[in-house]
Chains A and B, each alone.
Chain A
Amino acid sequence: MTRNASWIAITGVTILVYLLMFAPVAVVMLLSFNDSQFGAFPIEGFSLRWFVALWENEAVLRAFRVSLLLGALTAVISTTLGVLAALAIVRYDFPGKRLVSTALIAPILIPEVVLAVALLLFLRWLGIPRSFVLLLAGHVIFTLPFVILVVQARLVGVRREFEEAALSLGANPIQTFFSVTLPLIMPAVLAGMLFAFTISFDDITGTLFWKPGGVETVPTQIFAMLRHSISPEINALGTVMVVITVVLPLLGLALARRLAARTRM
């Protein structure tokens, strides 16, 4: 009896908290279709004009291209470095292992602002000004720990016997890696890559320090637009971002599950 009552209360609170988490973003999406010219309440009718305005906004499109390129490069570099490091940590014993693994996840233990300042000032002192390369270096170092943690967690579960079998059958270590280990850890590698891409695509804390003048990523572009005024274009941009980062992957997942279910039959 009381157990049921408290469970109902728990359910209610959970629903409220979830609503709280999603309501603000839902309002952004709702307002992006609003015909009103101020991008705010009241709702004056359905319109796609803010999306059209967005499509014609050259600065936003340029920011999208920068963000996509930066995210893709970050994902590839960070995942390559991360997989190699995770292999060393999981498959080998060596002196100083604890220190090395702590050093490798240090970028998430250090506040991002401090990391941003240190990298900016050091490279400036070396004579390397703010540039795309600095931005890329910063994003790689910041995403590396996430890739390492994800790949490491998966690699621990891959039995060494598989690799030893390949080696004993005459494959060299590199062949073994590409034909045995890599396929087995592929889900984690892809997850790490996606993780790195998303973190890079979303980053603003470090990016505002590192980006050269005139170059904007999507988040810094939104930030710059917010400083002027909250225009309905920002709401439309928010909706586009949510569709790209949430709806599309979910649809893909649903489609993949459906296809998998069909082939199983």
Chain B
Amino acid sequence: MSATADRLFDRRPWILLGPALSAVTFLLVIPVCFIVVYSFWLRTAIGTEEVGFHLDNWQLVLTDPFYRDILVQTIRIAVVSTLLCIALGYVPAYFIAYAGARHKLLLILLLMLPFWISYIIRTMSWINILGVSGAVNSALMAVGVIDEPMRMLYNEATVVAGLVHFLLPFMVLNIYVSLDGIDRNLTAAAQSLGCNGWQAFREVTLPLSLPGLAAGSLLCFVLAAGTYITPMILGGPQNAMFANLVFETIITQLNWPLGSALSLVLLVLLGAVVMAYTHFLGLDQIAKSFR
């Protein structure tokens, strides 16, 4: 009899899930619902909050061209960084997938190394490369190409460079995972049917590697669009991204209701991208890189 009861409701998985699920519920689900409510409250001039249903924050966020411009700028920086990651990442991923077993292990290990090197160290390292007394300027001045150091830092290009440097390993890894899963007989078959090497790549290998390319792009885009540290270190004041606005509003201006509305805009934007992706492709491909 107890066996039937067990089959009807097995408590054991729920006991195991209890701690993790309550952590996620109390530290993530409820807080996110809370900021939805909070974004309708109002910050008064004297610094207190007016509880209620006010649309002022949302009106400001959705109509003020200042916020719209930064949102557009954020999307542009994230898209450009992602495209550069694809351009720089595909060839190395291909090389790793088709290299001999000995090189493969070393190359994958090297690819994982950046994950172990602090993000902030990697970001600030660009100051040593592109700064006024950085490697590029010193080298060019030593050779005599330029007399005065060039100002290359603190613009959109350096923000993109920092982001690409940070995101590239994610892209290479994802493309590699899907290239590595391709049955090698398929290219051989294409070639025996008369394709040359390039055609076989274009008709067989490239389409089959698109899931990895898409997974890598999703990761890169979402991580790039949600960052505020890279623009703070490598960008100038005019290169702020949307997450910088959130940080400014919450930490500096202490306008928490407005900050809630701003972070929800970011959540909706990136959430829509993730949902569109899962709708068409599913999350399995991303999980693959954990194996």
Contacts and interface: CB of A to CB of B under 8 A. Distances in A.
Interface in A99-127: 100, 103-104, 106-107, 109-115, 117-125
B80 interface: no
**10 closest residue pairs by CB, A with B:** A111-B226, A41-B138, A24-B125, A122-B31, A118-B31, A40-B133, A92-B13, A85-B20, A88-B16, A88-B13
Interface string A205-230: 10011000000001100110010001
Given A10-B95, A94-B13, A205-B227, A230 B20 contact: no
Given A28-B128, A31-B128, A85-B21, A2 B34 contact: no
Contacts, number: 251
A238 interface: yes
Interface string B4-44: 00000010111011111101100111111011001000000
A80 B222 CA distance: 28
B243 interface: yes
B31 to A, nearest CB: 4
A202 interface: yes
B110 A238 contact: no
B121 A242 contact: yes
B128 A118 contact: no
A114 B267 contact: yes
Given A38-B133, A234-B124, A209 B251 contact: yes
Interface stretch (B59-67, B178-186, B208-216, B258-266): B258-266
A251 to B, nearest CB: 13
Interface residues of A, number: 86
Nearest to A28: B125
B34 A246 contact: no
B17 A100 contact: yes
B12 to A, nearest CB: 6
Nearest to A27: B128
Interface of A: 2-3, 6, 10-11, 13-14, 17-18, 20-25, 27-28, 31, 38, 40-42, 80-82, 84-85, 87-89, 91-92, 94, 100, 103-104, 106-107, 109-115, 117-125, 137-138, 140-141, 144, 148-150, 153, 173, 198, 201-202, 204-205, 208-209, 218-219, 222-223, 226, 230, 234-235, 237-238, 241-242, 245-246, 249
B102 interface: no
B34 A122 contact: yes
The B interface, classified by DSSP as helix, strand, loop or mixed, is helix
The A interface, classified by DSSP as helix, strand, loop or mixed, is helix
Interface string B74-91: 000000000000001101
Nearest to B269: A111
B151 interface: no
A223 B197 contact: no
B229 A204 contact: yes
B119 A219 contact: yes
A259 to B, nearest CB: 19
Contacts of A124: 256
B32 A110 contact: yes
Give the interface size class of chain B: 35 or more
B35 A118 contact: yes
A234 to B, nearest CB: 7
Contacts of A92: 10, 12-13, 16
Interface in B76-124: 88-89, 91-92, 94-96, 107, 110, 113-122, 124
Contacts of A144: 20, 23-24
Given A122-B30, A122-B31, A219-B119, A113 B91 contact: no
B279 interface: no
Nearest to B36: A118
B154 interface: no
B131 A230 contact: yes
B129 interface: yes
Contacts of A119: 27-28, 31
